[in-house]
Chain A
Amino acid sequence: MIVALSIFLITVGSIAFHFWSPWWWTEVASNWGNMDDTIILTFWITGIVFVAICFFVSYCVWKFSYKKERRAEYKPEDKKLESRLTWATAIGVAALLAPGLVVWNQYVTVPDNAYKVEVFAYQWGWKYRLPGEDNILGKTDIKYISDDNPFGLILEDANGKDDLLVDAQELHLLIDRPVKFELRTIDVLHNFYVPQFRGKMDMVPGIVTYYWLTPTRTGDFEVLCAEYCGSGHYAMRGRVIVDEERDYKKWEAKQITFEKMLAKNKKNDNLQLVKKDK
Chain B
Amino acid sequence: MSDEYEHKLEAKSDYTTDASSVSAPEIDSVPEAELPDQELYHSHSWWTTYVFSQDAKYIGIQYALTAVGTGLLGLVLSWLMRIQLAFPGLGWLDPAAYYQFVTMHGMIMVVYLLTALFLGGFGNLLIPLMCGARDMAFPYVNMLSYWAFVVAVVVLLASFFVPGGPTGAGWTLYPPQAITAGTPGSDMGIILMLVSLILFVAGFTMGGLNYIITVLQLRARGMTLMRLPLTIWGIFTATVLAMFAFPALLVGCLMMTLDSLLGTSFFMPAMVSLGETLTHEGGSPILFQHLFWFFGHPEVYIVALPAFGIVSDLLSVHSRKTIFGYRMMVWAIVGIGALSFFVWAHHMYVSGMNPWFGFFFATTTLIIAVPTAIKVYNWILTLWRGNIQLSLPMLFSLGFIVTFLNGGLTGLFLGNVTVDVPLSDTYFVVAHFHMVMGIAPILVIFGAIYHWYPLITGRMMNETLGKIHFWITFIGSYAIYFPMHYQGFVGVPRRYFEIYDSPYIDTSTLLLNKFITIAVLIVGAAQLLFLYNLITSARLGKKSEKNPWKANSLEWQTPQMPPEHGNWGKELPKVYRWPYDFSVPGAKEDYIPQNQPPSEIIGAKVEKT
| A interface residues, Cβ below 8 angstroms from B | 3, 6-7, 10, 14, 17, 21-26, 32, 35-36, 38-39, 42, 45-46, 49-50, 53-54, 56-57, 60-61, 64-67, 70-78, 81-82, 85-86, 89-90, 93-94, 96-97, 99-101, 103-105, 107-108, 122-124, 142-143, 145, 183, 186-189, 191, 193, 195-196, 198-207, 209, 220-222, 224-234, 237
Cβ distance B373 to chain A, nearest Cβ, rounded Å: 4
- Given the known A-B contacts A42-B413, A203-B352, are A73 and B321 also in contact in the complex, defined by CB atoms under 8 Å? yes
B374 & A89 in contact (Cβ 8 Å cutoff): yes
| B interface residues, Cβ below 8 angstroms from A | 95-96, 99, 168-170, 174, 176-177, 180, 182-184, 269-274, 277, 282-286, 319-328, 350-352, 355-356, 358-359, 362-363, 366-367, 369-370, 373-374, 376-378, 380-381, 383-390, 395, 398, 401-402, 405-406, 409-410, 412-413, 416-419, 421-426, 475, 478, 482-483, 486-487, 489-491, 493, 495-499, 502-504, 506, 508-509, 512, 580, 582-585, 590, 605, 607
Number of A-B contacts (CB under 8 A): 327
- Given the known A-B contacts A100-B418, A226-B425, are A23 and B590 also in contact in the complex, defined by CB atoms under 8 Å? no
B482 & A17 in contact (Cβ 8 Å cutoff): yes
B421 & A230 in contact (Cβ 8 Å cutoff): no
A42 & B478 in contact (Cβ 8 Å cutoff): no
Cβ distance B547 to chain A, nearest Cβ, rounded Å: 17
Residues of chain A within 8 A of B184, CB atoms compared: 230-231
Which residue in chain B gives the minimum CB-CB distance to A124? B182
| The residue from B269, B328, B351, B402 contacting A206, defined by CB atoms under 8 A apart | B269
- Given the known A-B contacts A25-B422, A60-B388, A187-B180, are A202 and B352 also in contact in the complex, defined by CB atoms under 8 Å? yes
Residues of chain A within 8 A of B182, CB atoms compared: 123-124, 187-188, 229-232
* Complex CA distance for A105 and B109, rounded to whole angstroms: 37
Beyond contacts A57-B383, A104-B362, A191-B350: 4 other A-B pairs, Cβ-Cβ < 8 A, are A25-B490, A76-B607, A195-B504, A206-B285
Residues of chain A within 8 A of B277, CB atoms compared: 142-143, 145
* Complex CA distance for A261 and B502, rounded to whole angstroms: 33
Residues of chain B within 8 A of A22, CB atoms compared: 506, 508
SS class, residues of chain A in contact with chain B: mixed
B398 & A201 in contact (Cβ 8 Å cutoff): no
* Complex CA distance for A6 and B390, rounded to whole angstroms: 13
- Given the known A-B contacts A6-B475, A23-B508, A227-B425, are A71 and B405 also in contact in the complex, defined by CB atoms under 8 Å? no
- Given the known A-B contacts A14-B482, A107-B421, are A60 and B380 also in contact in the complex, defined by CB atoms under 8 Å? yes
B405 & A54 in contact (Cβ 8 Å cutoff): yes
| The residue from B284, B387, B406, B416 contacting A64, defined by CB atoms under 8 A apart | B387
* Complex CA distance for A186 and B319, rounded to whole angstroms: 59
A26 & B362 in contact (Cβ 8 Å cutoff): no
| The residue from A10, A201, A226 contacting B402, defined by CB atoms under 8 A apart | A10
- Given the known A-B contacts A24-B490, A74-B583, A96-B366, are A142 and B270 also in contact in the complex, defined by CB atoms under 8 Å? yes
Q: List 23 A-B contacts (CB under 8 A).
A: A7-B398, A17-B483, A42-B416, A50-B405, A64-B387, A65-B388, A66-B320, A74-B585, A82-B325, A89-B370, A96-B412, A100-B416, A104-B417, A107-B421, A123-B182, A187-B180, A188-B183, A191-B425, A202-B351, A228-B177, A229-B182, A233-B99, A234-B499
